[in-house]
Structure formats: structure tokens, C-alpha cells
């Protein structure tokens, strides 16, 4: 009888350790698509191969009210002072209070924010830019009624790596709006 009690006690103890590990509370944290605050991001406005396209570099400025604030570095006089706030919640990734990516990430997931409709169109792209090759990239399409759409590609732990659009202004052609061309440590 003592052996049975010992066995049951060990079994219950083992279950109390194992069960919490498999509960929803202990699930892996959502993959982050926030920009890395320890990096400088250089984007080209257009395709990486476009020699006439302008570039700008963003750096993390400060954290305030839950937002990571990004700004162009002073050397980028073309768009000096450009900046935005970015934050992430369990519901998604936001830029200046606009939900640009809904969590949990799932192909076909859609949401609306303001006049824009968004949809996650793919969750496993591999995208190559001058920075390198990014895997498990998320494709998000933003559609504006009567105007067209913009497609953004987000890499885990990096953020936006590529952005294209097809609007009435592009005469039905898909063009590259932004390309991540450099990513370096601060």
C-alpha cells in the first residue's frame, strides 16, 4: 500500500509540473515584427536597383508611452524630421495608432482600420534585399477603396523589409515603394 501511495504522489507531482508547461498560459510568445531598436535602418524609396531613388536612415530615438519612436538621422536632409511611433500588443503591430499587422498572424486574417482594409496574404515568404535574405516574412495587403493597394512585407525581429503598390496613379503596374537596403548596429 505504501508503494501505491508513493507512486500516486510522484505521479501527481509530475503532472503538476508537466501540465502547466502545456497550458495556453505557457504558450510561446507571439513572434515580434517590431523594428530592432539596436539597429539603424536605411530604406531606398523605390527599387534597390534604382540609382536615382533617394534613401533615408531611421534610428530609434526614445521609448515613450509604450511607443518606440523612430526618426530620420540628421544627415538625411531630404526628409529630415520624418518620424513615427511603433508599438506592439497581443492584438497586433501598430504604427501611429494604425494597426498594420493583426495578431495572431494567420493567412487570410483580415481587419479594418480607418479607410483601409488589411489582409494577411502569406506567412512564409522568403524575401531578398541588399541587406540579405529574410525567411518567414509576412505579406500584408492594405486596400483603399477606389485607389488601389499597398503590399508590405515584414520579417520577424526586423520589421518592414519591402513595400510595393498598385494604384490608379501607377496605371495598373506594381511598383516598389520602399526597399530595406542597409541594416547595421548602432
Buried b (16+ CB within 10 A) or exposed e, 79-114: eeeeeebbbbeeebbbbeeebbbbbebeeebeeeee
pLDDT, the chain, mean: 83
The helix, strand and coil proportions of the chain, stated in percent and rounded to the nearest 5, come to: 15, 50, 30
Position 52 scores a pLDDT of 86
C-alpha 153: how far from chain center: 8
Residue-wise DSSP of 121-171:
EEEEEEEEETTEEEEEEEEEEEEETTTEEEEEEEETTTEEEEEEEEEGGGT
- For the chain, the domains span 39-185
In 3D space, the residue among 140, 182, 148, 153 whose CA is nearest the CA of residue 165 turns out to be 148
Handedness of CA 86, 89, 93, 96 (dihedral sign): negative
Residue with cell 496574404: 121
pLDDT tens by residue, the chain, 186 residues:
444 333 333 333 333 333 343 333 333 467 999 999 999 999 999 888 888 888 889 999 999 999 999 998 865 555 556 789 999 999 999 999 999 999 999 999 999 998 899 999 999 999 999 999 999 999 999 999 888 999 999 999 999 999 999 998 888 899 999 999 999 998
User: What does the pLDDT read at residue 18?
Assistant: 35
Report pLDDT for 78: 55
Segment (H or E) for 9:
helix 2-22
Report the pLDDT value the prediction gives residue 29, as an integer from 0 to 100: 60
The answer as to CATH 1.10.10.10 being correct for domain 39-185 is no
Amino acid at each position: 500500500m505504501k508503494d501505491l501511495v508513493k507512486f500516486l504522489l510522484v505521479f501527481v507531482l509530475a503532472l503538476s509540473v508537466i501540465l502547466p508547461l502545456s497550458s495556453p498560459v505557457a504558450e510561446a510568445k507571439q513572434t515580434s515584427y517590431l523594428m530592432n531598436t539596436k539597429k539603424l535602418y536605411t530604406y531606398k524609396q523605390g527599387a534597390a536597383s534604382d540609382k536615382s531613388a533617394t534613401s533615408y536612415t531611421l534610428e530609434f530615438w526614445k521609448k515613450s508611452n509604450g511607443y518606440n519612436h523612430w526618426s530620420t538621422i540628421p544627415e538625411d536632409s531630404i526628409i529630415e524630421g520624418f518620424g513615427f511611433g511603433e508599438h506592439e500588443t497581443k492584438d497586433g503591430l501598430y504604427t501611429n495608432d494604425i494597426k498594420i499587422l493583426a495578431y495572431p498572424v494567420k493567412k487570410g486574417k483580415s481587419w479594418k482600420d480607418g479607410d483601409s482594409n488589411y489582409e494577411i496574404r502569406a506567412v512564409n515568404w522568403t524575401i531578398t534585399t541588399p541587406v540579405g535574405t529574410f525567411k518567414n516574412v509576412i505579406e500584408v495587403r492594405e486596400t483603399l477603396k477606389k485607389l488601389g493597394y499597398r503590399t508590405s512585407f515584414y520579417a520577424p525581429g526586423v520589421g518592414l523589409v519591402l513595400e510595393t503598390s498598385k494604384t490608379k496613379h501607377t496605371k495598373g503596374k506594381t511598383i516598389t515603394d520602399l526597399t530595406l537596403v542597409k541594416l547595421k548596429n548602432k
